[in-house]
Structure 1
Amino acid sequence: MPRLYLLDGMALVYRAHFALIRNPIRNSRGINTSALYGFTNTLLTILENEKPTHLGVAFDTSAPTPRHAKFPEYKAQREDMPEELAAAIPNVKRLCRAFHIPVLEVDGYEADDLIGTLARRAETEGFETYMVTPDKDFAQLLAPHTFMWRPGKKGSDHEVIGLEQLPEVWGVSEPHQIIDLLGMMGDAVDNIPGIPGIGPKTAQKLIADFGSLEGLLQNTAQLKGKQKEKVEENADLARLSKDLATIIVDAPVEVTWDDLVLSERDADAVKELFNEFEFRSLTKRLFGEAGAGAPAAPSGDATPTLQETFKRLAEVEHTYHLADTPEKQAELFRLLESPKRFCFDIETTSLDRFEAKLLGIAFSWKPREAWYLPFDESLLPALRSSLSKTCLKIGHNLKYDLCVLHRHGIEVTGPFFDTMLADTLVAPDRRHTMDYLAESLLGYSPIKLADIAESPVAAQEQDDLFTLAAQKAKTKELNVAAVPLEKLAEYAAEDADVTFQLAEKLGPLLVEAQQEGVLEQIEAPLLPVLVRMEMEGIRMDPDALAEIGGTLGERIETIGIQITALAGRPFNLNSPKQLGEILFDDLKLIDKPKKTRTGQYKTDEQTLSSLSGTHPIVDAILEYREITKLKSTYLDALPAHLQPSTGRVHTHFHQLVAATGRLASTEPNLQNIPVRSAAGREIRRAFVPRAGFTLLSCDYSQIELRVMAALAGDESMITDFRARKDIHTSTAARVWGVAEKEVTSDQRRGAKMVNFGIIYGISAFGLSQRLGIPRGEAAEIIDNYFKQYPAIRRFMDQTIEEAREKGYAETLSGRRRHFPDLRSSNATIRGNAERAAINTPIQGTSADMIKLAMIRIDALLREKQYQSRMLLQIHDELIFDLHPGEESTLVPEIIGLMETALPLPHGVPILVEHGTGDHWLAAH
């Protein structure tokens, strides 16, 4: 039978765009190519794997449809199409034309209707038809020779749905019952109302009982209570909903089967389009090395589905050595004496830094040549000698390797070049796995550990920056120790070889991006510092944790009783739906409460915070949510993070997860423990010093405000900092026009909110919500603020304009963050980018400052052989295990290094406050 594939163009581009919304693919000009790339990948998968004979792509038009005439609210709740997605659609159509694939559009009809019409026609004319769409509503069109072809999610394979799968997917037995189902339950995506109170499960049961919507409406006498009432009251609405959900199958589609016959693509047009959008990997996929003229996408052409287009180890000349004899080992260590740089890569039995046993180390200092050294305790002296030389050490996600080697007694000396960090600085928006970089920068696909190791556990895609052993595997754990030595040696040697080649590629790109200084002076020297901090960990008192948890548990129970009493009836405190009904149906706190897309009342934190003070139940709910989250996130979870071998907690620090360069902490996240709430502060009591030591906290005082004053050159604020005034009191005095001694606590609170809010682009609305004052009063405060600090306003405006012109904002150290959305015509998108552009040089400079301080403090501790240890970095704060005998000499040195780490313009002074105590709360 001829095979007809009908692609739902609108659904596919939406899916591709939003699948990558948090990490979009952009070309070197900043154009978001996610939708075009994702659509192209799906199209190529169908062309290469499914062998269609006929193919067409359907799109909506902007003209209203018969559904809008029947129900003006149809799809009315949908937000406007994102600007970048709208810009992509014409290019998707260009792609179709280049492939000689018809684009199907008819004013007044949706893509669904065009596909439905052609599918129904094809069913009777001898075709096997596949409707390519993620939209389950198409199941109403299934027939013996008509199927749904749904693209896979997160790397999984596509799914074909036919009549046999219908009951499993939709819970009904016949395709036409899909329309009855939608008529009853509605469709929030298209704003089809359905019958209030009837969801999918109820609708399925009603169809099982009555066969159809009409059958239900004819037998409402068999229903009971509210359900009977709602069905009878909304009968017309249900009929309308069914009508709206019915895909039209007789649309005026003037296309013949001959028009849809698959023909030869216009290779030159396809190649030109791929070059324009920098789809290097797709070019190689279609045209092989002949298409190598396509430029590499600096911000991340996504990983292709078919990897056969890349070169593999068997296809390239290479020389890999296995140092498995004393003679070969001696030769390897002799050769390691000469290179000015080499790459190393370890192989281990586990991703856990404390459980991993070292199996071997691979080395490479020439492209296509590498060595693998199986590990043996007898090799430790030679390894220590080779890895302590001052030549450049190259690796990918080096922190993991350095941690494991540290635990095995091997201290690796820098300087370092981490290809993962380097790529993050060069192209922050793309993926940074070694496999992906090898494919996109080298046109090469490395061996996958899962292909050679035994007993793979379910694979999971993760970003390098959150994976403990980033490029070791895309699996949680594999039985690496069982891999035959020759295979493991080849795999490891290839990793080292490929990483060395990546470093050669990324070096010039770093220079071109002017980010080599950030890597060489900040991120690379920070690597061993973080390794020592992570491996040191911090002591935690389980008894204190249990005591705090018990207290919070009692408070949760008490406040739950209070909330139930205030509500007037019992309800599930953890159900947003039931809470919304209490607040807005029963208590009627406001006249027109906001709702979610599914029709529930909004009860998120922002909504509840805006209602704070209107009724005691609101503040009680906010407290309940905070302490239950604290208890589950920290008090219940922290004991599981105690490392049995050390009795301490060892977090993971991530250098470049945050776009501004701030460190992130995971497993556990110690940076998100609230400091402003009493419950959050209590948790810090459980973190204690090692026996005989005390905890030292050194905290930059109001560092972001100082950076802002310095970058803006605002004399008024700089003068106040130089005079060591309380900046918030001083600001309040200026804004309200009163003497500093007359400033009230509310005025100081308002000034503090503005001081810190300005950095993040606070609006009059936002300030009014936080301070609980009218918006007009908040606007007046902000206006007065800029009158008193005019240079701050000029700095903000100038930063936005320069970032718009250059495409990026920059810190004092030269770290860059790119902002393509500054040129967006969508005011919301552009406004978000403007706020981030203002914040980047401020927060990014603060991040660079504390990173530089950490590098110098670590050097001090090592050079003078202090017994004190640096343990944690929490935003602007450093935590130490302080030896009592070192306090008088070490603390002033630490403070001095922190205050001079990155001098600010205009002589703005940096102040570091410190404290000590027998737990973190006391020290802070």
Structure 2
Amino acid sequence: MPGKHRLYLVDGSGYIFRAYHALPPLTRKSDGMPIGAVSGFCNMLSSLRDKAEHDQAVSHMAVIFDTSRQTFRSDIYPAYKANRAETPEDLIPQFGPIRDASRAFGLATLEMDGFEADDLIATYARIAHEAGMEVVVVSSDKDLMQLVRASSADEPGVGMLDPMKDRSIGPAEVMEKFGVAPDKVVDVQALAGDATDNVPGVPGIGIKTAAELINTYGDLDTLLERAAEIKQPKRRQTLLDNADKARISRQLVKLRDDAPVKDGLDALTLGPVEWPKLAAFLDLMEFRTLKARIENRLKLRGTADMGPGSSGGAPVTVAAPAKEIAFEGEGGPEQPAAPVGQGSYTLVQDIKTLQAWIDRASAAGIVAFDTETTDLSPTKAELVGFSLAVEPGEGCYVPVGHIPPGGGGLDLGGHGEIRQIPLQDALAALKPLLADPGVLKIGQNIKYDMAVLAGYRVDIVSYDDTMLISYTLDAGKHGHGMDELSELHLGHKPISYDEVTGTGKARISFAEVPLEAACKYAAEDADITLRLYRALKPRLLAEKQVTLYETIERPLPAVVCAMEVAGIRVDPAELNRLSADFAERMAGFEKTAHDLAGESFNIGSPKQLGEILFDKMSLPGGKKGKTGAYSTGADVLEELAAQGHDLPRAVLDWRQLAKLKSTYTDALVASINPKTGRVHTSYSIASTNTGRFASNDPNLQNIPVRTEEGRKIRKAFVADKGCKLVSADYSQIELRILAHIADIAALKQAFLDGIDIHALTASQVFDTPVEGMNPMVRRAAKAINFGIIYGMSAFGLAAQLGIPQREAQAYIEAYFKRYPGIRDYMDRTRKQVKEQGFVTTLFGRRVHFPNINTRNPAERAFLERASINAPIQGSAADVIKRAMGKLPAALAAEGLQARMLLQVHDELVFEAPEAEVEALIAVAKRVMQAAAALSVPLTVEAGVGDNWEAAH
């Protein structure tokens, strides 16, 4: 190959991380997609191609990427690279466009499962060297320095080029770095190890000592054979003790140059860049400055051939706008989209068309995705179809489970048999796309779609959730359902579910909806989701909410989905026994109520109860509502019971048991999934203003924990055979956050010293010694401590403690006098919320109160109390969610099978094999206690048992 015989092998993975860390976070203006690494990568490739163009010898070039961390080295040493941090979430969706960038610049792009990029570089370096070519490895990675070879008149060498410093690396530079020649680098690395990649090496041996030993003994094998001759006792012993580690380390650091690559050197030939294709890609990514720079360079050369040493080529056609050229199925830069609902929606009924949409989504690196199912409960739902959208106004619907009403094989439209892709075929085609970390999946409440697909063993990797983005930005302002967001941000009212399925007795299942109607409804959902993403995602950066979303909210769908799918086992026999017990006791309370009333009446009827209490018995406090019936709410009955009236107390006791029976003991038995034998709650992760979860169908968060009946219900939640339930609960987290936020020195010191905070408050507020304290005094202090957080009034405290309101007011005033910082915090928060309409948690979550300045005094007072509580409760919610996001990986890193089942405010419930309990508790405490850095310690209390009550 006279004149042109040089191969550039570019370490693409190294480029990616250099580009990512070299630039601040950047997003594409049109949709908010992260593009910082793509931008840096493109600039580096542009410079490299320009350099190659001036290097008359370069004939071949390729960019080589890693595929995953699982390689043959993982089989040799499972802990290899285990210490590496998780890939940043905002980098994952950039992998696809980065590979597209390499192809747009006209470069061969190589990767191979089971091998690292370095192994492919080593393999092609060998192949090229044997073919008589000179090789330049474009990287500064020290691991690649073992490939360096000196050139001679008879044999071309292998060198390196540090692209950031534009510095060549040859044998002299390797000697400077490692203290040995390139062919001995592997031996030095085997001894020294590498903490970054978790290569063990020999403890106590660093690079300098390793080089000294290899230079003395010649190579690693000789050194280990003669280790007993080493004079220094400590060095001698560590080499003798760790010889196997050194040999394993050598296997890990030595690059394989025999990877079974399929492409020969011809596939790496460096040809001219196709300017329209490159320009289209740069337009797509909105890299206008880079595009102009390259275009100007081409104009100066008068050629569109960016190939090295070109002597001509096709002239640049500036008049042909790049946006008319499609790139990798993308369709070019964004054109004005059709109004929502009036776009081009495709009904996909064959695998070839589906694959075309999947290919298009892969090329785009981003796709909106939605499922249509038979049930609102994801663990019961069956998949009916799914929709995709890759551009606003362009979406498709893929039916996989439609049926005509009443069975049979006819479409509702009378067009013959329903034509749709078999479910398993469609999922087989879809699965790689959803699992591709280089393609960002956009969903609206994507947790539901994840849970549905989990039943088919299909995972969604790399995602964004428009519901959670909206929740992060606008909690408290409005709801975050798709229909409401569409009307609010897009000015479009979506097709409703009722429009396609009907209502009442005429309602049909979605599986029975005609395909054309289903397509319009489902594809519109995907279209709206994509448009919402483009409207909302850029606001995260503009409003400084990126960290909150990325570190707290975005990890949750995958974590919570796993909890919902896991479910928790309940004992139906125990629940049935409790139901019978509750029914018997309810009958007793009902008889007592009838006896006290002097007649029989429907105890469950507020109207009849009101007439008995206020007309017949003439009890005080009777107030009629708009319907003309007396109010008989719990507050009314509690007030009457506190005055010594027995009938209201009997009704309250009856109501408590009736609620427990209907809501839990009866409902939980009905909620058992027959396929799993477990109860699967559904968590609403974007429904409360403060960031807390809500549990539904069934609600497992409101089971009374302080009553005997509530504890009996918790006993019915049991562990699988051979397992235990473990409860990990933050201790007094909201009081700790209050002490931190309000900077209360006495409370902070008490938490630091591990003192009983309620006893301390009692001693300081009521001037009572801690020793021998009356339990009622401590109870009063506890009520104040927690009540203040929720804005409790003197009336509320009086009712809770059963004391006169004047006495309760004196308690509260004494509390504020002892802890003035708390009143300062409350006053400061009231002022802040009135001025800006929101308050913030410790992690920057904004909780909005748009009506805070209402003229209604009662509503304003309520909102002020809520705003005072929001930073505290919201911060507590953020803390446990941060912990939840980290726990699955932490458990997996320890090799534990334990899994998280429930979140109940400040408590997490796990199920673990008995042998793993202690290890689980250690991991849970470590992660949960490190979830926030406060001026007081976070404390986690853990319990273990065969059932939830025993563990709590």
TM-score over 0.5 (shorter chain):
yes
Aligned counterpart for 1:340 among listed residues 365, 374, 386:
365
Within the alignment, does 1:456 sit opposite 2:502 as a pair? yes
Q: Which deviates further from its counterpart, 818-827 or 689-698? A: 818-827
Query: What is the CA–CA distance in structure 1 between the aligned matches of 2:507 and 2:570, rounded to whole Å?
Result: 27
1:533 maps to 2:563: yes
Match of 1:405 among 438, 441, 453: 453
Aligned equivalent of 1:909: 937
Give the whole-Å Cα distance in 1 for the aligned partners of 2:624 and 2:925: 51
> Match for residue 843 of structure 2?
813
Alignment of 1:743-758 (within 5 A): 743-758=773-788
**CA apart distance, 1:502:** 1.6
Assess, with a 3 A threshold, how the Cα gap between structure 1 residues 335 and 782 changes in structure 2: closer, same or farther: same
Deviations 1:256-275 (A, max 9, x none): xxxxxxxxxxxxxxxxxxxx
Q: Partners of 2:429 and 2:373 in 1: how far apart?
A: 19
The structural deviation recorded for 1:543 is 0.2
Note if 1:606 corresponds to 2:635: yes
Distance 1:703 1:396 in 2: 32
Equivalent residue number for residue 388 of structure 1? 435
User: Contact 2:590–2:654 at 8 Å: present in 1 too?
Assistant: yes
Amino acid in the other structure paired with 1:604? G
2: CA distance, partners of 1:448 / 1:768: 49
1:309-357, Cα deviation, whole Å (9 max, x unpaired): x9767855x4x55655454444444434333322112233444423433
Whether 1:563 and 2:572 are equivalent positions in the alignment is no
Aligned counterpart, 1:501? 531
**How many angstroms does 1:381 deviate by?**
4.8
Say if 1:351 and 1:477, in contact at 8 Å, map to a contact too: no
* Amino acid corresponding to residue 552 of structure 2 in structure 1: I
Instruction: Say whether the 8 Å CA contact 1:849–1:901 is kept in structure 2.
Output: yes
- In the other structure, the counterpart of 1:426 is 474
Q: What's the counterpart of residue 730 of structure 1?
A: 760
Range with greater deviation from structure 2 (395-404 or 414-423): 414-423
Q: Which residue of 2 aligns with 1:874?
A: 904
Aligned in 2, Cα 1:690/1:421: closer, same or farther, shift over 3 Å? farther
CA drift at 1:742: 3.5
What is the SS of the residue equivalent to 2:830? helix
Deviations 1:193-231, CA, capped at 9 Å, x for gaps: xxxxxxxxxxxxxxxxxxxxxxxxxxxxxxxxxxxxxxx
Normalising by structure 1, what TM-score?
A: 0.60
Matches within 5 A, 1:16-415: 315-316=342-343, 318=344, 320=345, 324-373=349-398, 374=421, 376-390=423-437, 391-415=439-463
Q: In the superposition, relative to structure 1, how do residues 349 and 623 fare at CA in structure 2: closer, same or farther (>3 Å)? A: closer
Greater shift in the superposed pair: 714-723 or 497-506: 497-506
Name the CA shift for 1:495/1:617 in 2 (closer, same or farther; >3 Å).
Answer: closer
Residue 862 of structure 1, CA deviation: 3.9
Secondary structure, in 3 states, of the residue corresponding to 2:509?
coil
**Distance in 1 separating the partners of 2:350 and 2:854:** 62
CA contact 1:538–1:871 (8 Å) conserved in 2: yes
Is 1:801 the equivalent of 2:831?
yes
Separation in 1, partners of 2:422, 2:466: 23
1:820 Cα offset (Å)? 3.3
**Secondary structure, counterpart of 1:821 in structure 2:** coil
Match of 1:847 among 877, 886, 895: 877
- The match for 1:822 is 852
TM-aligned CA distance change 1:827 to 1:894, over 3 Å: same
Q: CA deviation at 1:764?
A: 1.3
Name the structure 2 match of 1:11. none
TM-score, with structure 2 as normaliser = 0.59
Give distance in 2, aligned partners of 1:360 and 1:596. Answer: 48
Structure-2 change in CA distance of 1:561 and 1:397 (3 Å): same
* SS of structure 1 residue aligned to 2:364: coil
> What is the letter of the counterpart of residue 443 of structure 2?
G
1:915 and 1:368, CA in 2 relative to 1: closer, same or farther beyond 3 A? same
Aligned to 1:647: 677
Distance 2:585 2:752 in 1: 45
CA distance in 2, matches of 1:686, 1:314: 49
Distance 2:627 2:566 in 1: 48
- C-alpha contact 1:345 1:395 (8 A) present in aligned 2: yes
1:661 matched to 2:691: yes
CA distances 1:834-863 after superposition (whole Å, capped 9, x unpaired): 101100000011111111111111222344
**Residue of structure 2 equivalent to 1:883:** 913
Match of 1:131 in 2: none
Select between 702-711 and 350-359 the one with higher mean Cα deviation: 350-359
Provide the C-alpha distance between the structure 1 equivalents of 2:350 and 2:688, rounded to a whole number of angstroms.
46
Give the Cα separation in 2 of the matches to 1:722 and 1:531: 36
| Kept after mapping to 2: 8 A contact 1:698/1:895 | yes
* 8 Å Cα contact 1:457-1:478 kept in structure 2: no
Q: What amino acid does structure 1 have at the position aligned with 2:461? A: T
| C-alpha contact (below 8 Å) 1:311/1:443 kept by paired residues | no
In the TM superposition, residue 449 of structure 1 has moved relative to its aligned partner by 5.7
Q: Distance between the aligned counterparts of 1:543 and 1:768, measured in 2?
A: 41
2:883–2:931 contact (8 Å) kept in structure 1: yes
- Aligned partners of 2:687, 2:747: CA distance in 1, in Å? 32
Alignment deviations for residues 815-846 of structure 1 (CA, whole Å, 9 cap, x no partner):
11222333234322221111011000000111
Change (3 A) 1:576 1:479: closer
Distance 2:609 2:372 in 1: 52
CA distance, structure 2, for counterparts of residue 411 and residue 879 of structure 1: 24
Moved more, 910-919 or 862-871: 862-871
**1:601-634 Cα shifts (integer Å, max 9, x gaps):** 4432112222334134443332222112211221
Q: CA deviation at 1:638?
A: 1.8
Tell me whether 1:741 sits opposite 2:771 in the alignment. yes
Counterpart-to-counterpart distance in 1, 2:507 and 2:474:
28
Query: What is the aligned partner in structure 2 of residue 467 from structure 1?
Result: none
SS of 1:856 mapped into structure 2: helix
Change (3 A) 1:643 1:421: farther
User: In structure 1, how many angstroms separate the alpha carbons of the residues matched to 2:383 and 2:610?
Assistant: 55
Aligned 8 A contact 2:466 2:529 in 1: no
Secondary structure of the structure 1 residue equivalent to 2:523: helix
1:655 deviates by 0.8
Q: Secondary structure, in 3 states, of the residue corresponding to 1:345?
A: strand
- Per the alignment, residue 923 of structure 1 pairs with 951
* Contact map agreement 1:422 1:519 (CA 8 A) in 2: no
Q: Distance in 1 between matches of 2:529 and 2:373?
A: 17
- Aligned residue for 2:741, secondary structure, equals helix
- From 768, 792, 797, the equivalent of 1:767 is 797
Q: Tell me the equivalent position of 1:478.
A: 509
* Alignment check: 8 A CA contact 1:419 1:506 kept: no
Quick check: 1:419–1:499 contact (8 Å CA) kept in 2? Answer: no
What letter matches 1:702 in structure 2?
A: Q
- Alignment gaps of 5+ in structure 2: 1-336, 399-420
3-state SS of 2:442 partner: strand
Q: Secondary structure at the match of 2:944?
A: strand
Give deviations 1:783-810, integer Å, cap 9, x for gaps.
1111111111111111111111111111
| Shift in alpha-carbon separation, 1:828–1:487, aligned structure 2, 3 A | closer
Q: Distance in 2 between matches of 1:481 and 1:602?
A: 46
Q: 1:896 to 1:405 in 2, by over 3 A?
A: same
SS in 1 for 2:900: strand
Structure 1 residues 513 and 426: alpha-carbon distance in aligned structure 2, compared to 1, 3 A threshold: farther
Asked if 2 retains the 8 angstrom alpha-carbon contact of 1:421 and 1:656, the reply is: no
Deviations 1:222-252, CA, capped at 9 Å, x for gaps: xxxxxxxxxxxxxxxxxxxxxxxxxxxxxxx
Distance 1:362 1:862, change over 3 A: farther
- CA distance in 2 between counterparts of 1:820 and 1:491 reads 33
Q: C-alpha separation between the residues in 1 aligned to 2:639 and 2:781? A: 20
